[in-house]
Amino acid sequence: MDSSPDPGIARSSGPGSARASLLAPAAVVVVGLAVTVLASGAAAVAHDASVRADMIEHAHTRIQAVARVLDSTATQVVALQALYRASEEVEPSEFDTFAATLLASGDAAAFEWVPRVRAADRAAWEAAHMPVGITERGGAGLQPAGARQEYFPVEVVVPLRPNQRALGFDLGSESDRADMLAKARATGRILAGGPVELVQGGTGFLTVAPVVREGEDDGLVGFVVSVSVASDVLTAALAPLPDDNLVVRLFREEEGVKGTLGSWPAGAVGAAPTSIVSEVVELSSGAFRVEVEPTSGFEASHRSAAPRWVLTAGLMFTALLAGYVRLLGSRAAAAREHAAMLTREMEERRRAEAAAVELEARFRALAEEAPVGIYLLQDGRFQYVNHRFAKAFGMAPADVHTPDELPATGEAWLPGDAEIEVDGRTLQLHAVHTQIDGREAVIGTVNDVTEARRSESERQRAEQLEALGVLAASIAHDFNNLLAVILGNVSMAQMRAGQSSSLLAEAEQAVLRAQGLTSQLSSFARGGEPVRVPMDVGPVVREAVAFALRGSAATASVDVEAGVWAVNGDSSQQIGRAHV
């Protein structure tokens, strides 16, 4: 067995060479471990910052959602206030209809109309509106309201069924409600109150808007009131949002009007008081404070294994880096080859694109110089028309967009042949069906055949006239021969009669006129015009009258005034058809 060394393999010798070959991997390991530790720590810090930023972003999203619902309720109260300001008297049915519409699009639990009733008007108001009377809360529930200078009872409430118990209840009978009404009355603006125990049951808060009209002692007619339940408001605002394990609390935050209105989700407990995001929202109805606190579930859902993964990835990267260095040379060669291949492909693509541009330019020049109009119709629009197409319709190519702009029906643009008339010209259309970019299209031509048709018509007319002239010459020749025989016989009959005969004279005149007609027919056959000469109109009229009365017992007298002008005419024409 030959044990000689392979000449293609370089062998190292000695411990120095072995130590040198380990220096690069050792350096990679040291640097990789240092970078891995630093990256893992940075990942942990970045994760904590990301969790905090994510929590703040979600908190602000929820705060804005709650603010929108609260502002929507205030806007609805203003709309009801405008209803009372716009009308001297609002019927309960009108309030029901308008309030029901607002309830369908909003998140309030109920809307109420609370009029101002003076003590002197209490009995009349109760008789007209509330047989049960004006009530207030007592030890055993609701009881008749005590004597006061004025009352603010609930006259109308929508919806009625769950809130019927509130009818007649005097909002001014309790200090918190009375203070809210007084403040709204004094400022004249819409105002939301703090948490109150609702007469119809449960806890909620009221938003009131004073209705003021001219003619009252201080202008106050009553209040439009919305009843809101904090849990309903928070549910309407937050239920559409994804559950991110956050507790949202709503507070009334204004001087003299404070208190916790509610929280959402019900029963949820925050787990990170130091991470609470709190924001005061200023609305038209007052200031509200919204707090958002993460629960333990939020921390768990945002716990990340990123630092551990960074550490693991760093170690793996360190282990693979040495192998990568060895492969770097071969990959660099492969990259250079790939770059050369891409360069060749790009060059070929540039040549192909240049050839395509040149070919397109040739075809476009061919289309523009074509002796007929050319068009491409696709997706209901002209994608291309040349200048002859546009000129055929009296337009510029840039102004041609759709077939509806042209004086032709939609069927004219279908594949096949068609003719249309445009401004007295005849346009011949020829179209074929094709596909371009995988979509249906029609390519066609438009040719103005007006002059060709006119030339063809004139040629046919000339041929017809030529044929008619040959026929007319033949007929005139034969007819003239017959007239010569007749004229000879008439002349011999006159000589034998021995005396003048008017009938023979008339016959002779008729034969002479017939000979004149044959002369005219011959002239027409040679392309000439009738021979017109000045002639006296009197004999023509007398001869025409005599011709018309021949064979009848009637007689006529023709009196032609002297000095009548002569006319240009052909005396050889038949009576009644002379050319003048």
| Nearest one of 436, 438, 393, 431 to 414, comparing CA atoms | 431
Distance CA 464, CA 456 (A): 12
Percent over 90 (pLDDT), the chain: 13
Residue 274 in contact with residue 326, Cβ under 8 Å?
Answer: no
Percent over 70 (pLDDT), the chain: 83
**E strands present in 235-332:** 246-254, 257-264, 277-283, 286-294
Write down the pLDDT at residue 153: 94
Q: How many Cβ atoms are within 10 Å of 570's Cβ, its own excluded?
A: 19
Per-residue pLDDT tens over the stretch 241-287: 887 788 888 888 776 666 778 888 876 776 667 678 888 888 888 88
Distance CA 563, CA 544 (A): 20
For the purposes of burial, counting CB atoms within 10 Å of the CB of 543, is it exposed (0-12), middle (13-18) or buried (19 or more)? middle
User: Which tokens in the block code for residue 118?
Assistant: 């003076």
Q: How many Cβ atoms are within 10 Å of 40's Cβ, its own excluded?
A: 18
Residue at token pair 């030890």: 139
Write down the pLDDT at residue 375: 81
The amino acid that residue 456 corresponds to is E
Per-residue pLDDT tens over the stretch 152-179: 999 999 998 888 888 999 999 998 899 9
Distance CA 578, CA 580 (A): 6
Beta strands 150-151; 156-158: pairing state: unpaired
**E strands present in 104-202:** 110-115, 117-118, 135-138, 141-144, 150-151, 156-158, 191-192, 196-197
> Which three-class secondary structure string do you get for 331-378?
HHHHHHHHHHHHHHHHHHHHHHHHHHHHHHHHHHHHHHCCCCEEEEEE
DSSP secondary structure code for residue 170 in this structure: B
* SS3 of residue 436 by DSSP: strand
Distance CA 576, CA 580 (A): 11
At residue 112 the predicted structure's pLDDT band, cuts being 50, 70 and 90, is very high
Q: What is the DSSP string of 55-103?
A: HHHHHHHHHHHHHHHHHHHHHHHHHHHHHHHH-S---HHHHHHHHHHHH
pTM, rounded to two decimals: 0.47
pLDDT of 414 > 50? The answer is: yes
As beta bridge partners, residue 197 has 203
Distance CA 374, CA 447 (A): 9
Residue 397 in contact with residue 368, Cβ under 8 Å?
Answer: no
Per-residue pLDDT tens over the stretch 344-362: 999 999 999 988 888 877 8
Cα distance from N-terminal residue to C-terminal residue, the chain: 139
Write down the pLDDT at residue 318: 77
Write down the pLDDT at residue 551: 66
User: Which tokens in the block code for residue 147?
Assistant: 């004597």
Q: What is the DSSP string of 8-45?
A: TS----SHHHHHHHHHHHHHHHHHHHHHHHHHHHHHHH
Distances (CA, A) of 98 to 81, 107, 153, 507: 11, 15, 20, 110
The mean pLDDT value for 427-436 works out to 84
User: How many residues comprise the chain?
Assistant: 580
Distances (CA, A) of 336 to 292, 325, 329, 349: 57, 17, 11, 20
